[in-house]
Structures are given as C-alpha cells and as structure tokens.
C-alpha cells in the first residue's frame, strides 16, 4: 500500500498531515523533495545529473523563474566536490570537507530532487524514463551527466583495477583515499607513477597539482621517493608556474629531483598496464615499475549521453548560442560531456554553461529573443600551501556553426613569496565560495 492509500485509509488529508508534522515536513520535504505546489500548466524542466552543472542549472533557473517546475535526477544523496579534492591526498582536508547535499535545492529553491538514474529519453513523446520505472514528461531537458572514464583505452586497465590497487582518483571518493593510503604506506625510496591523459579531460591542471601535493607529502614522510609523470601530452597548462615551484622546492631539472616529467615525444604516453608486475608500458615499448601507479584515463561523454544519441563519436555537439543539442530538439547539454573546444572542461565552465542554458530557456518561455552568450572561465590551482596560481579565459559567440572565440590570460610564474601565498589563499577561498554558490 502506498502512502497516498494509507493516508486515505486513516482519513487524514495531506493538509492535515502537514499540519501534524509541522515545520519539519515543510522544511525538509518529507512528502516529496519540495513542498511547493506548481500549476499543472507550469513548464516542466527536467535536469539529468546533480553535479556542478546540473545543480547550478537548477538553482539559477529558480532564481530566474519562480513558476516553472524543476526536477533534478541524481542517484546519490550527497555529492563530493572534485575541485579541491587533490588536497585530500596529503591530508590537508578531508573528503567530508568536500561533501554537499541537495537540501538547499529542495527546500530553498523548490527543486524536486529524485534520487534515481536516468535511463532512456523518448524524444518524440518528450519523456524521460528512470531506472526504477518512473516516466517524466518534460518541456525542456538539460543533460549534465559528467564524463565517462575510458579505462579500456589503456591495455590491461579496467574500472575494477581502478577501484582496487590502481586508483585513478579522478572522481573524488573511495579511490582518493586508496591513493592517499598507498602513498603513506609506500616503502622508503619508492616511486609514484602518474599518467595524465591526452586532451580533453576534466580540470587540465589537476594531474600536475596532484604531483606537486604528493611531492610535498613525500618530502616530509619519504624524502628519497620519486614521482614519475608519464604524460600523453607534450605540454600542460600552467607549466611555467609548476616548473618554477618544482625547481625551487623539489630540485626539478637536477639529478636529485623528486619529480620527473616525461612528455609524449620523449616516450611518456602510457599504453598498457602490467598489473602483475606493477608496471606501465609506454608507446616506445619501455617498461616503468611503480610502487604506486595512478593512471588517469582518457574521457568521453557520459554513458547516458552516448546511449541516448546525444554524442557523436566522443562528445556531444551543441549550438553555442544556447547549448542546445545539435541532434535533438528541446534538449540541452552542459558540462564535461560537451564538445566545447576551445573551452576546457572545468566545474566553473559547467556552471557558466548552466547560466546560459537557463537564461535561454527563460527567454523562450517569455517570448524574448536569445541573448548572445559570453563565457568566463576562472581556473585556480595550487602547487603547495605556499604557492597559488590562476588563469582567466573568455569565450565569445562567433556565429552559428562556429567554435567560440577565446582569449586567454595566463600569468607568468610569481617570484614574490608574499604574492605566492596570497594567490594560494585566493585559490582555497575560491573553491570554498564556489561550493557554496552552487549548493547553498
């Protein structure tokens, strides 16, 4: 017997039950994710994915429009923020510091949050079927599924191995803690191998920030250990800043350097994992043994997007005017699954894409002409607790069928110690503020 039938049997109306439960029911939505009642004719905006992009879309849409019905589909009751998660590895913060819930979206912004997995889109009927069987009608559908990790692209690698002894730790969570514990228990003088992927992938500076944090950790606990970065690229963002800090702090470029970076052109691209011998094989046939092996696999559009014909071979093509799908009407795609080059794949970009989408939807609902988007990406990173950095990028709409026009500002390495610390504090505070902006 469902709750509705049970209430009828007891002769208790929904209003009576709310009155009995008092403020608790109204505040926490015990009778549903949101206690606000919307008109039956209200447009229904359904959002798939409760990460940064999806949560931002839900919040920003509500700030624009109090009358639309918003439903967010997300299987997890908590979300662990990826920005800042590298700090968990040396123990500077905990995973709990990065955990957020959907309570504010439910209660403050009246978003109906359904903890289930989206399964199939029926584009003709404009319906979304969930894994547990629920079918939702939508007026507009926003898809923000995050990326899929291509473990299979590395021979011998798999998600099972990543969940076990070879953590990728590129989604903050259990693998992050496994990586931390492996480094803490590594033998003295051992080797940590980090294998970053080719572009495009989530948060371009993150593998190098990770290497820097691990080096700081090892310098204190295992000073004869080494970090070997075997890269599938020949360059990486903010390299001038990292190289400067690594030279100053870890002897980078010398025979005694704690960090060694091997670019693709010098044999850095990892193509195979030899799990039995705890080694990786690079494209030139060289074998490299590591006590801790951290392979970050290449990425593609999320599985939901791929299964529902929103992607081409790897990413989801969109119209950059409003991020509507190029493949299906009344569907928008944001976040890491978008074929968005030259935009990088960052949480801040996803949140700004969300702003564009909800503005476009709101404009259409009110019969207004779509405005021309202007996207800003502010990316912060750290090399240590005493050195921060940032870059700024703008992206302008260049016309239908054209890529966005980008303009980058990447500052040179900062040599002033006081400014280095200020930038580090800015980076930390930015991450905390960003979490609050999306989920509070």
Whether 438 is in a domain gets the answer: no
* Residue 92 in tokens: 């500077």
Please indicate, yes or no, whether residues 261 and 317 belong to a single structural domain of this protein: no
Measure the CA–CA gap between 76 and 283, rounded to whole angstroms: 38
Q: At 314, is the secondary structure helix, strand, or coil?
A: coil
Whether 434 is in a domain gets the answer: no
Q: Using one digit for the tens of pLDDT, what is the confidence trace for 28-50?
A: 333 334 557 777 889 999 999 99
Please indicate, yes or no, whether residues 156 and 293 belong to a single structural domain of this protein: yes
Model confidence band, residue 84 (pLDDT cutoffs 50, 70, 90): very high
Res 313: pLDDT: 87
Q: Which of 270, 297, 324 is the last residue of a domain?
A: 297
Whether 102 is in a domain gets the answer: yes
Please indicate, yes or no, whether residues 124 and 157 belong to a single structural domain of this protein: no
Whether 376 is in a domain gets the answer: no
Q: Using one digit for the tens of pLDDT, what is the confidence trace for 406-439?
A: 999 988 999 999 999 999 999 999 988 999 999 9
Please indicate, yes or no, whether residues 8 and 101 belong to a single structural domain of this protein: no
Whether 86 is in a domain gets the answer: yes
Q: What are phi and psi of 265, to 5 degrees?
A: -70, -15
Q: At 233, is the secondary structure helix, strand, or coil?
A: coil
Whether 2 is in a domain gets the answer: yes
Please indicate, yes or no, whether residues 122 and 162 belong to a single structural domain of this protein: no
User: Number of structural domains, the chain?
Assistant: 3
Q: Which of 241, 275, 297 is the last residue of a domain?
A: 297
Measure the CA–CA gap between 176 and 168, rounded to whole angstroms: 8
Whether 422 is in a domain gets the answer: no
Please indicate, yes or no, whether residues 235 and 267 belong to a single structural domain of this protein: yes
CB atoms within 10 A of CB 99: 15
Please indicate, yes or no, whether residues 91 and 222 belong to a single structural domain of this protein: no
Place of tokens 């109306």: 13
* Residue 175 in tokens: 């693998």
Q: Please give the span between the terminal C-alpha atoms of the chain, in angstroms, as a whole number.
A: 36
Q: Using one digit for the tens of pLDDT, what is the confidence trace for 210-256?
A: 999 999 999 999 999 999 999 999 999 999 999 999 999 999 999 99
Q: Where are the alpha helices (DSSP H) in 251-380?
A: 303-307, 347-365
Percent residues over pLDDT 70 in the chain: 92
Res 35: pLDDT: 53
Whether 440 is in a domain gets the answer: no
Q: Which long-range contacts (CB under 8 A, 24 or more apart) does 413-419 make?
A: 413/240, 413/241, 413/243, 413/244, 413/245, 414/241, 414/387, 414/389, 415/244, 417/386
Please indicate, yes or no, whether residues 237 and 325 belong to a single structural domain of this protein: no
* Residue 354 in tokens: 């969300």
Q: Using one digit for the tens of pLDDT, what is the confidence trace for 264-298?
A: 999 999 999 999 999 999 999 999 999 999 999 99
Structural domain range at position 12: 1-31
Please indicate, yes or no, whether residues 155 and 144 belong to a single structural domain of this protein: no
Please indicate, yes or no, whether residues 158 and 264 belong to a single structural domain of this protein: yes
Model confidence band, residue 306 (pLDDT cutoffs 50, 70, 90): very high
Dump strand ranges (E) for 31-159. Answer: 44-48, 69-73, 78-80, 99-101, 112-114, 118-122, 127-130, 135-137, 140-143, 147-149
Give the angle subtended at the CA of 134 by the CAs of 132 and 137, to the nearest 5°: 150
For the entire predicted model, the pTM comes to: 0.90
Burial level of 143, CB count in 10 A (0-12/13-18/19+)?
buried
CATH number for position 213:
3.50.50.60
Q: Which of 297, 331, 351 is the last residue of a domain?
A: 297
Please indicate, yes or no, whether residues 166 and 234 belong to a single structural domain of this protein: yes
Please indicate, yes or no, whether residues 167 and 280 belong to a single structural domain of this protein: yes
Res 344: pLDDT: 95
């Amino acid at each position: 017997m469902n709750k509705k039938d049970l209430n009828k049997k007891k002769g208790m109306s929904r209003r009576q039950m709310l009155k009995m439960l008092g403020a608790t029911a109204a505040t926490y939505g015990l009778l549903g994710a949101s206690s606000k009642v919307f008109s039956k004719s209200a447009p229904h905006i359904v959002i798939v994915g409760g990460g940064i992009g999806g949560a931002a879309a839900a919040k920003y849409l509500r700030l624009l429009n109090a009358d639309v019905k918003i439903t967010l589909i997300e299987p997890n009751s908590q979300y662990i923020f990826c920005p800042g998660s590298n700090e968990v590895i040396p123990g500077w913060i905990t995973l709990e510091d990065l955990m957020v819930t959907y309570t504010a979206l439910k209660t403050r912004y009246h978003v109906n949050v359904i903890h289930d997995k989206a399964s199939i889109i029926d584009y003709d009927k404009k319906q979304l079927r969930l894994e547990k069987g629920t079918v939702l009608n939508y007026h507009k559908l926003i898809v923000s599924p995050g990326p899929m990790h291509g473990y299979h692209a590395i021979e011998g690698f798999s998600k099972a191995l990543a969940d076990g002894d070879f953590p990728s730790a590129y989604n903050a969570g259990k693998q992050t803690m496994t990586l931390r514990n492996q480094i803490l228990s590594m033998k003295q003088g051992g080797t940590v191998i980090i294998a970053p992927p080719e572009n495009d992938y989530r948060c371009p500076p993150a593998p190098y920030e990770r290497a820097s944090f691990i080096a700081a950790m090892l310098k204190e606990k295992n000073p004869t250990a080494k970090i070997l970065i075997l890269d599938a690229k020949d360059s990486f963002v903010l390299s001038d800043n990292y190289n400067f800090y690594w030279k100053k702090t870890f002897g980078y470029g010398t025979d005694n350097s704690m960090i060694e970076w091997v670019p693709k052109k010098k044999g850095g691209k990892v193509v195979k994992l030899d799990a039995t011998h705890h080694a990786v094989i690079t494209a030139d046939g060289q074998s490299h043994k590591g006590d801790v092996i951290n392979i970050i696999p290449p990425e593609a559009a999320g599985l939901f997007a791929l299964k529902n014909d929103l992607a081409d071979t790897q990413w989801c093509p969109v119209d950059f005017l409003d991020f509507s799908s190029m493949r299906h009407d009344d569907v928008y795609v944001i976040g890491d699954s978008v074929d968005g080059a030259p935009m990088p794949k960052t949480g801040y970009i996803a949140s700004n894409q969300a702003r564009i989408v909800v503005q476009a939807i709101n404009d259409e609902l009110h019969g207004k002409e779509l405005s021309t988007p202007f996207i800003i990406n502010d990316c912060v990173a750290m090399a240590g607790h005493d050195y921060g950095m940032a870059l700024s990028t703008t992206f302008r709409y260049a016309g239908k069928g054209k890529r966005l026009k980008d303009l980058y500002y990447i500052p040179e390495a900062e040599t002033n110690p006081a400014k280095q610390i200020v930038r580090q504090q800015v980076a930390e505070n930015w991450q905390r503020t960003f979490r609050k902006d999306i989920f509070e």
